[in-house]
Structure 1
Amino acid sequence: MNIGLGLPVSDPVVLLDWARRADAGPFSTLGLLDRLVYDNPEPLVALGVLAGATARIRLQTEVLLAPLREPALLAKQAATLDRLSGGRFVLGLGVGGRADDHLASGTDLRTRGRRLDEQMAVLRRVWSGEPYSDEVGPIGPAPTRPGGPEVLFGGFQPAALARVARWGDGFLAAAPPSWLGGLLDTVRKSWASHGREGAPRIVAQANVALGAEVDEARAAIAKYYAFTDRAQYMVDGLLTTPQQIRAVIRQLADLGADEVVLYCHGRDPEQVTLLADLVG
């Protein structure tokens, strides 16, 4: 079981310290979420900086809101980050659900799923080295891996789950163990029905905080999910003891997760040390 670390978004300045500590520890991945109308760092820019500050750890968007972005430029940005990181970049994608994000980007909330499918066709074509269109030539750089960086999809709706097999390499399972079994069954059946070989990579998530950061983490989660009717549910689901965290990791492993990304919404980089001691 690989254990990744989800980065806090409230203070971009601390991310370098978090990343260096995680790279020196037992963690497999650094995850960073995405929003537009929110006080968070832009994830591709931030992960580009962190790529230069680290040597081995994967750099993963969880999830990048692709429909907010123009696909040709996104393809170029992702391939560039993939090359500069030595193939350590993983592109986690989702559609998002905030109307204000789409208003700010000038995109249509109602067609975000269809737009993501159209974008994926462009991304795969660009990464394969084919011309962008009949009038426009290829767009470089070539990614490290033929066909592009690893792509994971997050989401809960049938169309989102189907994208894993149609376009992706795995599933970002941002759900508690009690929900996860049915989602994974759907993803795996879709994978098989599309004739895909092997199995999708399953990346699960859990919100955690230890010690003095618990209250700050709860406040950060409440703020982030304030636009939903589930803010208190998310706050109540925060794992705050080593016993709770280890138990959920075991549950997720039993369900078939290949990796669990522990998201800590507190800012103090000492959380990296505490979590490294727990999972190491």
Structure 2
Amino acid sequence: MTSTKRRAKRPKPLSHSRPPTVKAKQAALSSKATRNLIRSHHQLMKARAQAVKVGDEELVKKIDAQIEAKGGLESYQLASKLGQSSERGGDSSKVLIEWLNPQLSQLKETSFKLRVLEVGALSAKNACSRNQQLDVTRIDLNSQESGILKQDFMQRPLPRDETDRFHILSLSLVLNYVPDAVGRGEMLKRCVTFLTKMLPAGFPGSFTPCLFLVLPAPCIYNSRYLTEARLQDILSSMGFTLARNKQTAKLIFQLWELSNDYRPKPFKKQMLNPGKTRNNFAIVVHDDQTTKSKV
């Protein structure tokens, strides 16, 4: 009896899932309009990813037209930026700074800085960027202002040495934008590669490298395929330990410290929390020895 083993498809870069952008009107949006635009864009992007997966080019074009009619990626980013503005209390990096304050206070009288990689950065003037104890590198698929490098995190060159790595990696409302479950797993694995435990000589105190993760609350609390326990299992297998956790009506904020060895194991898309009104957000992790060898 013979059998053939299908090879897992390599996740395509995030830029592949993004439609062409158009110039968005810089009109003021109400909080409700902002939420509706973001929600609509996410729904269209999920539909587009599914159409790409099955090779339905006509449907992809139709969805692209719908996205363009709503202002494209730039309109979505404008809404996201408004939603995270200080006027609406939405700068998620405030939470990160609050959690890191004890360690950052030790650096105030020194020249030492912790290196931060902010993925999906919308502003070069958020709380993280304004902190004098942090050296922030900002990247985004579609940079909207100076100080933010236009780059796909999944295509960023792998670190050559410790100087190319970071002490803190921020994924604030980024993982939920990745259109497929496998891509989300690959993104989390890649985070480990970009974190360093090495501190310069004379560094005051100690610091554990960490991942700042922000997700819409429904991704965990109203999903059929992801729960707090499953997310814990996934990140624990990658060496992370949950250090801080905060939940609001709309978001969850988590700080994961890279305190253990990288021991990835596969996680399939598995029904964990059945329900007709629940969503299909999931994280799938493939057993990838190639990724493991890079860490």
TM-score (norm 1): 0.33
Higher helix share goes to which structure? 1
Larger radius of gyration: 2
